[in-house]
Amino acid sequence: MPSTTGNPPIRLLRNPGLDRNAPYGPAEQWVLNRTRHREVLREIRSWPGYRATPLKDLPHIAQRAGVRRLWYKDEADRFGLGSFKALGGAYGVLRVIQGEVERLTGARGGETVPTGREIMGGAHRELASAITVTCATDGNHGRSVAWGSGTDMFGCQCKIYLPAAVSAPREAAIAAYGADVVRTDSEYDEAVRQSQRDARQHGWFVVSDTSYPAYVNIPRDVMQGYTVMVAEILEQLPANDRPSHIFLQGGVGGLAAAFVAHLWETQGPARPITVIVEPHRADCLFKSAAAGRPTTITDVHGTIMAGLACGEVSLLAWYVLERGADAFLTIDDDAARWAMRLLAREDVPVVAGESGAAGLAGLLSLADDPVSRDTIDLDPSSSVLVIGTEGATDRERYDAIIGGGPPATG
Ligand SMILES: Cc1ncc(COP(=O)(O)O)c(C=O)c1O
């Protein structure tokens, strides 16, 4: 849709598959559920260095967007890794090791499966060190898997595949945890396939943040890890303020599904309106919603929002989003730059990378357009939550954008 407001252009689609009153049924429960949510909370909260990331109140930007309140969950410092992905990949690594302990020692049930703390303390060290985990990554997920595999955490071998476009600083951040990094000359989805082929050949365990037919258990754990953020936010919000809207970035859909699933399960039809935000040129969730089925797009190059540059949806995420998400929105790279600069200009500057600022960029891009506001029932009384999913994970690029003159808009 060409912009009538002077803001970067958007496309907005009310989810044709939405069924707001549908109960959170067995199929969705199988993907994500409260019981496993409680387990993951207990586990991750016990890790060294755990603390809830801040929930920031941004009144100036709220005013700019014409809403009553704007909450920003800032994941820049999550476990010192720079993004929310720290919650998923590392938990996936732990689940692989726990699964192997169960299989090889015959241990069964919660009592006998070692906790993360016990494995960090040396339980089953030999067994863990003989395991190799692998994944393909645009940066953030791989960093989490590499961290989880490192000797300070669960101590296994790690092989990370990078698509061609991943920058050198992001590669260095992964290698710093001792992972073996394989740079491919392909885009993300092909790097995923290469890691799968090599894993099959060598008996490695794929710890992917995306699911596909016959590969669902680990990505399910990874997504469950993300729900830690939702629990923190619900604890951090003032009792008298519940968000009416949440803008959630979409790559393969895992982050968005984690939020939608948990809120759908715990709040039913009273849950906030969820808007899934993608780059124009990596809009696999938008296209899937429009088509009513998972839809792959090719040629996802050319967005600065590297974490969102995905052409294939995660099947499990799609199960949740197809009926549970309210709307899908695509945005321009300029919108991400604009949001990053506005955040950097706050009285206490907020540092967000390109993908990290995309949720806010979605809100800002549609905020001046009455028709779009109407489509998602956004009005001056709305209280909006956005997730700052990453900090400056690539410092050079961040500095180039923030130092790059006045905001594109606004
Ligand atoms: C910073 C950032 N935000 C959002 C996302 C999107 O998450 P998902 O792929 O689970 O949809 C990613 C994915 O890598 C990311 O790195």
Ligand 1 atom 4 nearest Cα: 249
Q: Which of 181, 208, 235 marks a domain boundary?
A: 208
**CB-CB contact of 261 with 28 (8 Å):** yes
Alpha-carbon gap, residue 200 to 206, rounded angstroms: 9
Residues 261 and 334 in one domain: yes
In a domain, 154, yes or no: yes
Segment 177-224, tens digit of pLDDT: 999 999 999 888 789 889 999 999 999 999 999 998 999 999 999 999
Quote the pLDDT of residue 198.
Answer: 97
Domain tally, the chain: 2
Q: Do 234 and 378 lie in a common domain? A: yes
Given a contact cutoff of 8 angstroms between Cβ atoms, the answer to whether 410 and 342 are in contact is yes
Q: What is the pLDDT of residue 394?
A: 87
pLDDT score, position 408? 43
Average pLDDT score over residue span 74-87: 97
Query: Could you tell me if 104 and 147 lie in one domain?
Result: yes
State which of 74, 83, 247 you would mutate to test the pocket of ligand 1, scoring each by most atoms of that ligand within 8 A of its C-beta.
83
Token pair, residue 161, equals 């595949």
Asked if pLDDT for residue 409 goes beyond 80, the answer is no
| 17 alpha carbon – ligand 1 mean position (Å) | 23
Q: How far apart are CA 51 and CA 294, in angstroms?
A: 36
Residues 298 and 196 grouped into a single domain: no
Please give the average per-residue pLDDT across 293-305, as a whole number: 87
Q: State residue 4's pLDDT score.
A: 60
Kindly indicate the confidence band of residue 80, based on its pLDDT and cuts at 50, 70 and 90: very high
pLDDT by residue (tens digit) across 131-165?
999 999 888 999 999 999 999 999 999 999 998 88
Confidence band of 5 (pLDDT split at 50, 70, 90)? low
Q: Write the DSSP string, 259-327.
A: HHHHHHHHHGGGSPEEEEEEEGGG-HHHHHHHHTS----S-----S-GGG--SS--HHHHHHHHHH--E
Compute the distance from residue 103 Cα to the ligand 1 centre, in Å: 32
pLDDT category, 322, cuts 50, 70, 90? Answer: very high
pLDDT beyond 90 at 406: no
For residue 66, what are the CA distances in angstroms to 59, 242, 257, 367, 407? 10, 17, 27, 7, 18
- Cβ pair 305, 358 in contact under 8 A: yes
Q: Please, which pLDDT band fits residue 300 given cuts at 50, 70 and 90?
A: confident
Nearest atom of ligand 1 to the alpha carbon of 137: 14
Is the beta carbon of 308 within 6 A of some atom in ligand 1?
yes
- Residue pLDDT, tens place only, 371-394: 999 999 999 999 999 999 999 988
Token match 């429009």: residue?
Answer: 290
Please state the atom number of ligand 1 nearest to the C-alpha of residue 353: 1
Q: Which active-site residues does the annotation give? A: 85, 138
CATH code assigned at 110: 3.40.50.1100
Average pLDDT for 71-83: 97
Q: What's the predicted TM-score (pTM) here? A: 0.95
Report which of residues 78 and 138 the model is more confident about: 78
80 and 41 assigned to the same domain? yes
Q: How confident is the model at residue 10 (pLDDT cuts 50, 70, 90)?
A: very high
Q: Of ligand 1's atoms, which has the minimum distance to the CA of residue 356?
A: 1
- Residue that is last in its domain, among 146, 176, 208: 208
